[in-house]
Amino acid sequence: SLVDVSASDIEQYRRALNQAQLSLALLIGSTPEYCILPSSLPHTALPVDVPAGIPSQLLTHRPDLMQAQYELQAAAAKVGIARSERFPSVALTISGGVADGNARELFQQGGWAWSATAGFAQPLFSFGRLRRNEQIARQQYKQAALDYEQTALEALEDVESALTAVATLREEALQWQNYVERNARIAQLQQALYRAGQSNYLDVISTQQTWYSSQLQQVQIIEQQYQALADLVLALGDGWQE
């Protein structure tokens, strides 16, 4: 019965491997034969070492941080536009250098107002409305700056979390490797005791089952290591090979 269960596990993982190959081929727009995955993985910690001194400039490659930066730049540009709109573009002199009387009308009745009928190209706007538009643009810039800071903090948190996962899973994988090796040794000794007539076969099956279960758990830890490494690359926005 236990042998049959283990045999069914083989088909389960073979199916998962094939589905992973198909998904990878679809992701890169290729055919499955170019995405053949290894049939086995090392039963130890990942051979990839995360180097020290990874520059924080890698975070600028993150799409969310790039978007926040562009939104901040756009908000800053809107402040400049709103500010420039408060000052009208008019001719202050006429031919001969004489002051244009229409310019003085801008300051009459406590507001800046001009119209096309008065010889100005700008549409009719009040000074108060332009001032409020500038205030709104400045507040939007402040909000964009806060959003950018929040996005940067979230990026740093993602990197720290991924680095912690990579480091702890590496140690966990090393410790679990020792556990698997000890279970293998116990299973061998129990088999020797059985052959010497000093143990029954149920004890042999029990130790082999424990060994098999520990190997399955080890594979899951290795999978978590690769996932943590992928999360680190995503958190950085790019790899560190450069």
Tens place of pLDDT per residue across the chain (242 aa): 878 888 888 888 888 888 888 888 888 888 777 666 666 666 555 656 676 667 677 777 788 888 888 888 888 888 887 777 666 555 444 444 444 455 555 455 444 444 444 444 444 445 667 778 778 888 888 888 998 888 888 888 888 888 888 889 888 888 999 999 999 999 999 999 999 999 899 999 999 999 999 998 998 898 898 888 888 888 888 766 54
CB 79 within 8 A of CB 134: yes
* Three-state DSSP string of 5-54: HHHHHHHHHHHHHHHHHHHHHHHHCCCHHHCCCCCCCCCCCCCCCCCCCC
The CA distance from 234 to 155, in Å, is 10
* Contacts for 63 with CB less than 8 Å, ≥ 6 apart: 237
DSSP for 225-242 reads HHHHHHHHHHHHTS-S--
Number of residues that this document lists for the chain: 242
pLDDT of residue 214: 93
DSSP 1: -
3 state SS of 93:
strand
Dihedrals φ, ψ of 103, to 5°?
-65, -35
* Contacts for 115 with CB less than 8 Å, ≥ 6 apart: 123, 124
pLDDT of residue 34: 67
pTM over 0.75: no
pLDDT of residue 39: 61
